[in-house]
Structure 1
Amino acid sequence: MESFDFSKIHYVFTTVPITKEIPVPIVEVGMFLGQDDVQIWCRKKRPVKTRR
């Protein structure tokens, strides 16, 4: 990920924990992104879990 250009990325959605520090919020979701995951995230208007 060191060489990835995050300039056009707002969030990273992942099913596995990312422990590397990156310049955008990380959103951890279940193995299958379901409607409930999307609705919860949209209501909060922020990631469920972030690491910076």
Structure 2
Amino acid sequence: MNRLKAIRRRRGLSAPQLAARCAQLGAPEISANVVANIESGRRQVNLDQLAVLALALD
């Protein structure tokens, strides 16, 4: 998901900052490591996680 990384960078967020936003939205399981793994394609993202990531990046 290189698009996730590109959007995150455009928003000026680091992976830990994005993870912190996800935790604030009720998804503490989306850690900085999970973000990195999603971005690199080593981890699949489910619909619930995708929704949280979208909100965190909005």
The answer, yes or no, to whether TM exceeds 0.5 is no
* Rg larger for: 1
Identify the structure with the greater strand proportion.
1
Q: TM-score, normalised by structure 1?
A: 0.30
Larger relative contact order (C-alpha < 8 A, sep ≥ 6)? 2
TM-score (norm 2): 0.28
Structure with the higher helix share, 1 or 2: 2
